[in-house]
Structure 1
Amino acid sequence: MANWALRPGAVVVVATACLLVSSGELSVDRGVAVTEPVSSVADVDSAARAPRASTATGALFADGSHFCSASVVDSPAGNLVLTAAHCVNGGSAGLSFAPGYHDGIAPYGWWTVTAVAVPGGWAASADPDLDFAFLTVEQDGDPHSVQQLAGADTLGFDRGYTNPVTITGYPDTGDSPVACRNTTTRFGPYQQRIACPGFPDGTSGGPWVTAVNPATGDGTVIGVIGGYEQGGDTPDVSYSAYFDHDIRDLYRSVLH
């Protein structure tokens, strides 16, 4: 669900692995409408709402406008951001990330995207089962990392297809995020789906977070809006590639 004309250009592809981590989770240290869990799209509209969003989630910008969503993911250097691969087909040139962005304000500043890593299968054929990417970001003159300032989600994998999650994204028609809580379901062998209303163009790359800390909004990210039909062909149902060894290996590779 990216409102972005995909540009031709080089994409950094990395594909090695050498970091040992515990199975199922990758970790190093460490005012939004939210709909409660419901059983169907029809039920979501009448669900209760409560404010809470992670400052680790933000908007991706190009040419002065946001077009996709992304979130900080825990890493040793604190400089990694997760999004959908279809959001960054043109590489890193001209892209910036604003964590916690709302109402035209970037409370943690603007972070320049300096590198993009996508799976080889996405680079070769835009495989929707591999629609995820890691971005390296930096901010000139700031000794702190984006993770130190905005927080971060832990990367989770092989968590199964049925999980309670909060999804968050930035519709391209507004300057504040929308969020929804519901339970994921399986959609094919390597895809997952969730019924949540109000996730149109611009929300692609938004994180699917489980085990959310109510104080911070951070948790374990197990998906991003993308995959089937680049996130879905209706704003009321979103999709994600299933996070398994493919994203684990890509994550490991960008750390080295």
Structure 2
Amino acid sequence: MSPVVKGRAVIGALAAAGIAAVFGVAFVEATGDRAVHPFPTVGVLMANGEHWCTASVVDSPKGNVVATAAHCVAPAGEDGQPGDAAHDGLAIGELAFAPAFSGEGSGTRPLGLWKVRSIHVDDRWTKWGDETADFAFLTVEPDGDGRSVQDRVGRDEAPKPDWTSGYEREVTVVGYPEPDRNPQNKPVSCTTQTRHDEDDPAMLYISCSGFWTGTSGSPWIADRGGPGRPGRLIGVLSGGDTDVDSTAALYDERAKALYDQAARG
């Protein structure tokens, strides 16, 4: 069974509550020029200025790499040919990343808006629509002061990627449902155990409520210990048949190759 992707225009079915999901992860008092936030590296991936998916900063030498789902940035291919449109049939548009996004309406961008310079996606996705390759890495440009996005969100807050993870891990997953179900534009988070997806054992699976449309690309972070202990990124949310059921493609050596390309950008 193919999971329903959770990008902007795909609505999941209403389902029973999951495990340990928490809506409305709150900001606390700002310190200096950077708002303190429990997940400063996670934010909204915007297309033409509107909420499109979720994305997050991943640790990199230059501090310029953001992780999200492949279907958020590139059409799925079929039979070896590139696709024509994004998952919802629309053009993807100009991409930018707003970490720690929050607030009604157009929301606030306390850590800035970062232009996406380049995207890096596996051809297993762009030619064949292979769900086990539904991950992407983005290179983002520095801000006007020459700072990297990782420096802006906190150099020690970004998880390191894990290319050899097993399927059974405790993970924290953080995402931004679209405004129709989340008018305050606050992130939803869940800490729970992963396992093989029953419908596709090659995919990771979690059961947590609240991961509606807009949460595609949400980071799955293992071994997270709070501020200064950011853990290991093992994949990003790819799909799921309801807001409770979520899947992710486990990072592998092909994901590492994409990351390396993005980090050089």
For the aligned pair, the TM-score class normalised by the smaller chain equals 0.7 to 0.9
What CA deviation, in whole Å up to 9, does each residue of 1:91-111 have, x standing for no partner?
985111011112222111100
Q: Which residue of 2 aligns with 1:232?
A: 240
Corresponding pairs, count: 217
1:220 to 2:232 alignment:
yes
Deviating above 6 A after TM superposition, structure 1's stretches of 4 or more consecutive aligned residues are 49-52
Q: Deviation of residue 77 (structure 1)? A: 1.3
Q: Deviation of residue 210 (structure 1)? A: 1.0
Contact kept in structure 1, 2:25 and 2:187, CA below 8 Å: no
Q: Which residue of 2 aligns with 1:53?
A: 38
The 3-state SS of whatever aligns with 2:256 is: helix
1:202 to 2:214 alignment:
yes
Q: Which residue of 1 aligns with 2:32?
A: none
Q: Which residue of 1 aligns with 2:54?
A: 69
Q: Give the Cα separation in 2 of the matches to 1:136 and 1:43.
A: 34
Please report the TM-score for the alignment, with normalisation by the length of structure 1. 0.77
What CA deviation, in whole Å up to 9, does each residue of 1:142-181 have, x standing for no partner?
2210001113221012210010010000000231111011
For 1:79, give the aligned amino acid. Answer: N
Contact kept in structure 2, 1:206 and 1:225, CA below 8 Å: yes
Q: Deviation of residue 215 (structure 1)? A: 2.1
The 3-state SS of whatever aligns with 1:149 is: helix
Q: Which residue of 1 aligns with 2:148?
A: 145
CA RMSD of aligned residues (A): 2.5
Q: Which residue of 2 aligns with 1:157?
A: 163
Q: Deviation of residue 53 (structure 1)? A: 3.0
* Percent of aligned pairs sharing the same letter: 40
Q: Which residue of 2 aligns with 1:102?
A: 102
1:183 to 2:193 alignment:
yes
Task: Identify the match of residue 3 of structure 1 among 5, 8, 26.
Answer: 8
Q: Which residue of 1 aligns with 2:133?
A: 130
Contact kept in structure 1, 2:59 and 2:160, CA below 8 Å: yes
What CA deviation, in whole Å up to 9, does each residue of 1:165-201 have, x standing for no partner?
1000000023111101100001234210001000000
Matches within 5 A, 1:5-84: 44=19, 53-84=38-69
Q: Give the Cα separation in 1 of the matches to 2:64 and 2:58.
A: 8
For 2:186, give the aligned amino acid. Answer: S
Q: Give the Cα separation in 1 of the matches to 2:18 and 2:139.
A: 39
For 1:160, give the aligned amino acid. Answer: G
